[in-house]
Copies of this chain bind each other. A is one copy, B any other.
Amino acid sequence: MDFDFAKGVSEPGSSKIVLLVLDGLGGLPRESDGKTELEAANTPNLDQLAAEGICGLQQPAGWAVTPGSGPAHLGLFGYDAQRFVVGRGVLAALGVGFGLDMADVAARGNFCTVDDAGNVTDRRAGRIPTERGAELCALLQEQVSIDGVEVFIQPVKEYRSLLVLRGEELSGEISTTDPQQTGVPPLEPRALDSAAEKTVGYVKEFISQAREILKDHSPANMLLLRGFAMRPDWPTIEDVYGLRCAAIAAYPMYRGVAQLVGMTPLKTEDSFAAEMTTLSEAWNDHDFFYVHWKRTDSAGEDGDFDKKVALIEEVDKEIPRLRELNPDVIIVTGDHSTPSKMKSHSWHPVPTLLWSPLARRDPVTTFGETACISGGLGPRMPATELLPLAVAHAGRFGKFGA
């Protein structure tokens, strides 16, 4: 739904919406009995929600798109993921929970190896361990000093790090220094528009100091920078629908994406039961709750069908506690599919249920990929329509026209 249109029909209310995201929920059938992870799981409570509500499958970012976590969540939050694009630097900052100011510029830093002539010989510095990456980031943080700008350098994982420049009149319109091949030197950073000239000066100074600091630390004796970006300034969900939104997610990446659309992150622990407790405690303070459960995706990425099944069952057990809160609308879905068979995100549409006393029931009585094909939401719903549909079921949209 168009944001201006939504704003025009939104009405205040006291109803509550819960969006429960089981990361990587969608799967593919196993050989033995043709069941997906969700179909193999024993989920009496999710099945009951499906039976009482309306089901279907949603596409996070279009028919054939395999989305990363950022775009996939933006789709669920009602933002067209192909239009609302977040730079890699910003995603890296969200991933480590770095609190980006609107004026900051963020970039991904990749430690690499260069030879005596300065040519890149390994773009990933032999995939140094995460601990080593952290040590080198600490060294750079301690020694780099640039007049006019504050510099933050934080470890991400292995050879990957985050660079943030904080200052005045900065711009993220800067080209990558990663040559994408070995045997050549790193590229010079270039301003992609004239407003970025000043920032490019800072970046060059940073690279020059980093080269000096790292030179004796082979294989990580240099750094490549890519994905320069600033935090986007988008309308929030509260701006558009008038919903006060909370994010309950144990992982920084998901709290970060939620903050991009104006949600308040709540402190929680890394278990689904703990997230449900956080939800109960915050129930009176918000209208919309995004609850994120990461581990289903991790099990899929590990190719562990049975573990993904068990993790879905863990969620199912907590559904009665969720229902005791008397929400007006519950959505259960994933941000994308992560079939254990593929050990990766995929393009397959994601099973989805919307429960509400005002949902028009459909023939679906169990929550699973095959069953959802016959649901009232259809087999290929655009993810961006889910949040507006929840708002409608929550009685927060007035009539359009007379």
Given contact pairs A360-B29, A360-B348, A370-B361, A68 touches B399 in the complex (Cβ within 8 A)? yes
A64 and B388 contacting across the interface, CB-CB below 8 Å: yes
Q: What string of 1s and 0s marks CB contacts (under 8 Å) between A350-362 and chain B? A: 0000000010111
A373 and B379 contacting across the interface, CB-CB below 8 Å: no
Interface of A is mostly: loop
Q: Is A385 an interface residue (CB 8 A)?
A: yes
Binds B, one of A217-225, A260-268, A305-313, A390-398: A390-398
CB distance from A231 to the nearest CB of B (A): 15
Tell me the A307-321 residues at the B interface (CB within 8 Å).
Answer: none
CB distance from A39 to the nearest CB of B (A): 11
Chain B positions within 8 Å of A57 at CB level? 376
Given contact pairs A397-B64, A399-B67, A34 touches B361 in the complex (Cβ within 8 A)? yes
Given contact pairs A370-B361, A380-B381, A392-B347, A401 touches B85 in the complex (Cβ within 8 A)? yes
Q: Is A1 an interface residue (CB 8 A)?
A: yes
A391 and B64 contacting across the interface, CB-CB below 8 Å: yes
Q: What string of 1s and 0s marks CB contacts (under 8 Å) between A166-180 and chain B? A: 000000000000000
Tell me the A97-153 residues at the B interface (CB within 8 Å).
Answer: none
Given contact pairs A374-B373, A379-B376, A62 touches B1 in the complex (Cβ within 8 A)? yes
B358 and A362 contacting across the interface, CB-CB below 8 Å: no
Chain B positions within 8 Å of A349 at CB level? 376
Docked complex Cα distance between A36 and B360 (Å): 9
- Which of B68, B388, B399 makes the CB contact (< 8 A) with A63? B388
Chain B positions within 8 Å of A250 at CB level? none
Q: Is A345 an interface residue (CB 8 A)?
A: yes
CB distance from A131 to the nearest CB of B (A): 23
Q: How many residues of A contact B (CB 8 A)?
A: 63
Docked complex Cα distance between A145 and B88 (Å): 63
Interface centre among A64, A69, A388 (most CB of B within 10 A): A64
Given contact pairs A360-B369, A380-B377, A380-B378, A401 touches B81 in the complex (Cβ within 8 A)? yes
Chain B positions within 8 Å of A389 at CB level? 63-64, 347
Q: Is A162 an interface residue (CB 8 A)?
A: no
CB distance from A124 to the nearest CB of B (A): 16
B63 and A400 contacting across the interface, CB-CB below 8 Å: no
B347 and A65 contacting across the interface, CB-CB below 8 Å: no
B67 and A401 contacting across the interface, CB-CB below 8 Å: yes
Residues of A within 8 A of B (CB): 1-2, 5, 9, 28-29, 34, 36, 56-57, 61-71, 81-82, 85-86, 88, 91-92, 95, 342, 344-349, 358, 360-363, 369-370, 373-381, 385, 388-389, 391-392, 397-402
The 6 closest A-B pairs by CB, nearest first: A64-B388, A68-B401, A63-B385, A64-B392, A71-B401, A68-B402
Query: Can you name 6 A-B residue pairings with CB atoms under 8 Å?
Result: A1-B65, A57-B376, A67-B400, A70-B401, A70-B402, A71-B401
